[in-house]
Amino acid sequence: MDTRQLEYFVAVAEELNFTRASARLFAAQSTVSAGIRSLERELGAAVFDRSTKAVSLTAAGTALLPEARNAIEALDRVRSSVAPGDGGLRGRLRIGTFIGLDAVQLPQVLGIFHTRHPLVDLQLIVSPSGSTGLADDVRHGRADLAFTGLPHHELAAFDVLEVARSPFVAILPVGHPFAAQRAVKLVDLVAERWIDSPPGYASRVVFDRVLADSGLTRVISAEVGDAGEAPKLVAAGLGIAVIPEIIFRAAPGVVVRPLAGPDIKLVLSVISRPNPTPAATAFLDLISHQAIAPTLTE
C-alpha cells in the first residue's frame, strides 16, 4: 500500500465521483480506478459500492477514511520535518474559503505563501453550507484550516485566529421610507421582504440568532451565496438586506444605514485543529502578520 493509493481513495471518498476525483488529482481516471482496485486487493475488501449512477462508501471504506486522512497527514509531517535542509516545506495545504473574502485579499496571501513555500501543494475548498460546512471540513480532516465567520462559542473544538470584525448594516433601496433615517431599527424592518445568505452561512447564522433572541421573525424572498451581491438584488426591488459591512459592495440604487439597537458583529477567523501541520502553521503565521482590511466600526 502506498500513499498515492490512499490519496486516490480519499479524493474519491470526498467527491463520490471518479471523474471529479481524477480532475482534482490531475490524474487519468483509469489511473485512479486502477489505484483503488489495487488498494482493495491489498485490503481484501471493497471500499466503494459502484453503480452506473452513483458511488458510495462501503462499511470498510467508511472505517478506512479517517485512518487514510490521518496517514496522509502524518506523511506530510514526516516530509516537512526534514524540509529545512532540503528546499523548504513540503506536502499539501487544504484551505476552506468562501466567495467575497475581500477583507483578507486571499489571492495575494496565497501568492506570498507560494513564493515562500513553492513545494507545498495548495488546494482551496468551498462548501455549499458556508462557514458551517467549512468548520465541519476542518473537524473531520477534509481541510487543514478554514476561514469562518461563526461565533466563537461554536468554535470551541478549534484553534482560532481572529482576523477582522465588522458590524452589520442595512441595505435599502433609494426612496425607501427609512432611507432618510440616520439609523434603522430591526423591529421596523422585519415586515419587509428580505435577501440573505443560505442557511449555514456565517452572516445568516449570526443574524438569525439575533432575531431569535429578539423574538422577531421575517420572510426571506431570495437567497444568495455571495452576500456581497445582495445590494444588486436590493436595487432590483427584490427586498432589503442586512449584511456585514466588511463584505458590502457599492451598487447604484441603494443606501446603507447603520443598525440601531443590538450590537451585531461578524467576527472573521481562521480555524484549525490543535497541532496543525507545518504548512498550516506557516500559513497561519503569514495571515497573522499580513495587513488585513481594517476592522470596520459604526
Among 31, 63, 81, the domain boundary falls at: 81
% of the chain exceeding 70 in pLDDT: 93
Q: Domain for residue 275, yes or no? A: no
Domain that holds residue 29: 1-81
Q: Domain for residue 191, yes or no? A: yes
Beta bridge partners of 223: 196
Among 27, 58, 81, the domain boundary falls at: 81
State how far the Cα of 209 lies from the Cα of 225, in Å rounded to an integer.
Answer: 19
Q: Where are the alpha helices (DSSP H) in the chain?
A: 3-15, 18-25, 29-43, 59-81, 106-116, 130-139, 186-189, 202-214, 230-235, 278-289
Confidence (pLDDT) at 80: 61
Q: Domain for residue 71, yes or no? A: yes
Q: Provide CB contacts within 8 A for 243, sequence distance 6+.
A: 168, 169, 171, 203, 227, 228, 230
**297 pLDDT above the threshold of 50:** no
Nearest CA-CA partner of 72 in 143, 166, 132: 143
Q: Provide CB contacts within 8 A for 137, sequence distance 6+.
A: 96, 125, 127, 143, 146
Q: Domain for residue 102, yes or no? A: no
Q: Domain for residue 89, yes or no? A: no
The CATH number that applies at residue 43 is: 1.10.10.10
pLDDT (tens digit per residue) in 106-154: 888 999 999 999 989 898 988 888 999 999 989 888 889 999 999 998 9
DSSP letter at 242 equals: E
State how far the Cα of 220 lies from the Cα of 176, in Å rounded to an integer.
Answer: 18
Q: Domain for residue 33, yes or no? A: yes
Among 66, 81, 96, the domain boundary falls at: 81
Given pLDDT bands bounded at 50, 70 and 90, which one contains residue 79? low
Confidence (pLDDT) at 248: 87
Type and span of the H or E element at 101: none
State how far the Cα of 27 lies from the Cα of 85, in Å rounded to an integer.
Answer: 30
Please count the structural domains in the chain.
Answer: 2
State how far the Cα of 287 lies from the Cα of 113, in Å rounded to an integer.
Answer: 10
**291 pLDDT above the threshold of 80:** no
State how far the alpha carbon of 71 is from the alpha carbons of 9, 24, 66, 75, 134, in Å.
Answer: 12, 19, 9, 6, 21
Q: Domain for residue 100, yes or no? A: no
pTM of the complete model: 0.74
Q: Provide CB contacts within 8 A for 50, sequence distance 6+.
A: none
DSSP letter at 176 equals: -
**298 pLDDT above the threshold of 50:** no
Region 260-283: mean pLDDT is: 90
Region 170-190: mean pLDDT is: 93
Nearest CA-CA partner of 38 in 70, 78, 4, 83: 4
DSSP letter at 85 equals: G
Lookup: cell for 41 = 486487493
What is the CB-side half-sphere exposure of residue 63 using CA atoms within 13 A?
A: 6
pLDDT (tens digit per residue) in 10-49: 889 988 889 888 887 778 889 999 999 999 999 999 999 9
The CATH number that applies at residue 193 is: 3.40.190.10
> CA 229 from chain center: how many Å?
18
Lookup: cell for 188 = 421596523
Structural contact between residues 197 and 127, judged by C-beta atoms closer than 8 angstroms: no
Q: Domain for residue 122, yes or no? A: no
